[in-house]
Amino acid sequence: MSSYWSDFVKDLEPYSPGEQPDIGNITKLNTNENPYGPSPALLEAVRNQLNDDLRLYPPPAALRLKQVIADYYQLSTEQVFVGNGSDEVLAHVFNGLLNHREKGPLLFPDISYSFYPVYCQLYDISFEKIPLSEDFCIGLEDYKRPNGGIIFPNPNAPTGMLLGLEAIENFLQCSQQSVVVIDEAYIDFGGQTAASLIDQYSNLLVVQSMSKSRSLAGMRIGYAMGSAELIAGLERIKNSFNSYPLGHLQIAAAIASFEDEDYFQKTRQLVISERQRLTAQLERLGFEVLPSQANFVFTRHPHQSAEELASRLRELGIVVRHFKQPRIQDFLRITVGDESQNSLLIDALKSIVSD
Ligand SMILES: *Cc1c(COP(=O)(O)O)cnc(C)c1O
């Protein structure tokens, strides 16, 4: 605590990201990174951007990238917003679109992305957590009450459980007075994006990340899709904060990713099939695994403490994520790795569980 800090800074409780260990030779299954790297064509596109242009500011509106995203989702560029990772996009969303104290608290699930309450504190947004059901489902019925906005991840994090597009559309039909934000960081691993509903629901904002399904966590690129009205609000915030959230290299990488659809499809399918294999093997070891449509599984063992399991795995060089939080302290969140990483994990768990 420093006397240089404002009272506001003293009171902040920042988000703590999963660790990025500096040591090599570690099996890193704690932050949902993609085990398959970006495509060779993408790396080539980034290399081609390493030139004298770096002395110039990047295009502030990243219009070429917006066009590529708009084409991919059959939208117009006015319906697309881009930012420095979806975390930055979300920060602007909380600040600009979800702060409606006069209408009621912002609503999100009790078990959800732990950055949401942090943004609420940063931007002084009142919120209320809506409990998931006993079996960890989001019950959208519970969100039909006065609110200053609604946000939830789909698939949810850290459960991995998906809400179908039909349930979402039914909900949107009765919630047209609220801004509804769907955080689709994991949608490409088995869900259907709600981007197809944007033309019908001007209150719907869909946020996506290039960190997970597009293997670009190190590049920091995220985007939001919604009505021109919502997007214009985000642009006002962004242009009051940082006009150049994406550099030349990020823009080149993002465009190249959308242009290499074959590679995207191939790696996405590999993660999905590895998830199925990992789930089956965990179940064989006696673990309960929630049905995941993400690139991670959320799992608990009937007789082993999750904290203990995480620390035994760590001794064996495998890092997973454990949340010391009511309702989920018995669970581990394990990123789906590639075949050899998942096999290492299963072998390690086998030795621990049979001890
Ligand atoms: C990973 C994640 C993000 C942030 O992704 P970045 O684009 O890397 O900032 C946002 N929401 C959820 C639910 C996530 O899991």
61 and 185 share one domain: yes
Angle CA 138–192–253, to nearest 5: 115
Averaged pLDDT for residues 62-71 = 98
Domain assignment present for 9: no
Domain assignment present for 10: no
Domain assignment present for 5: no
Q: What is the CATH number of the domain that holds 325?
A: 3.90.1150.10
Residue 88 CA: nearest ligand 1 atom is 9
Q: Which of 15, 84, 87 to probe ligand 1 with, by most ligand atoms within 8 A of CB?
A: 87
272 and 234 share one domain: no
Residue 20 in this model has a pLDDT that exceeds 90: no
Cα(155) to ligand 1 centroid in Å equals: 12
204 and 336 share one domain: no
**Total count of domains within the chain:** 2
Of 259, 276, 297, the one marking the end of a domain is 259
Of 234, 259, 284, the one marking the end of a domain is 259
Cα(269) to ligand 1 centroid in Å equals: 20
Residue 16 in this model has a pLDDT that exceeds 90: no
Residue 32 CA: nearest ligand 1 atom is 1
31 and 45 share one domain: no
181 and 279 share one domain: no
Of 259, 287, 308, the one marking the end of a domain is 259
Indicate whether this model's pTM tops 0.95.
yes
Cα(86) to ligand 1 centroid in Å equals: 6
296 and 243 share one domain: no
Model confidence at 24, pLDDT cuts 50, 70, 90, reads confident
**Residue corresponding to tokens 């703590």:** 16
Residue 87 CA: nearest ligand 1 atom is 9
Residue 262 in this model has a pLDDT that exceeds 80: yes
Contact criterion met (CB below 8 Å) for 42 and 225: no
Residue 112 CA: nearest ligand 1 atom is 13
Averaged pLDDT for residues 290-314 = 97
Give me the pLDDT at residue 21, please: 79
292 and 167 share one domain: no
Contact criterion met (CB below 8 Å) for 209 and 220: no
Q: What range defines the domain where residue 136 resides? A: 40-259
Give me the pLDDT at residue 220, please: 98
Beta strands (DSSP E) in 154-306 are: 180-183, 204-209, 222-226, 288-289, 296-300
- CB of 87 shorter than 6 A to ligand 1: yes
- CB of 113 shorter than 6 A to ligand 1: yes
Torsion of the alpha carbons at 258, 261, 267 and 269, rounded to the nearest 10: 120
Averaged pLDDT for residues 221-226 = 98
215 and 276 share one domain: no
Closest residue by CA, ligand 1 atom 12: 185
Domain assignment present for 3: no
245 and 302 share one domain: no
Averaged pLDDT for residues 90-119 = 97
Q: What percent of the chain has pLDDT over 90?
A: 95
Give me the pLDDT at residue 305, please: 96
Q: Which of 82, 209, 213 to probe ligand 1 with, by most ligand atoms within 8 A of CB?
A: 209
Domain assignment present for 13: no
Residue 78, Cβ density class (10 Å: 0-12 exposed, 13-18 middle, ≥19 buried): middle
Cα(209) to ligand 1 centroid in Å equals: 6
313 and 193 share one domain: no
- CB of 209 shorter than 6 A to ligand 1: yes
Give me the pLDDT at residue 1, please: 82
140 and 274 share one domain: no
216 and 298 share one domain: no
Give me the pLDDT at residue 132, please: 97
Residue 90 in this model has a pLDDT that exceeds 90: yes
Average pLDDT, the chain: 96
Non-local (6+) Cβ contacts of 299 within 8 A are 282, 287, 288, 289, 290, 331, 332, 334
Name the residue type at position 73.
Answer: Y
Model confidence at 162, pLDDT cuts 50, 70, 90, reads very high
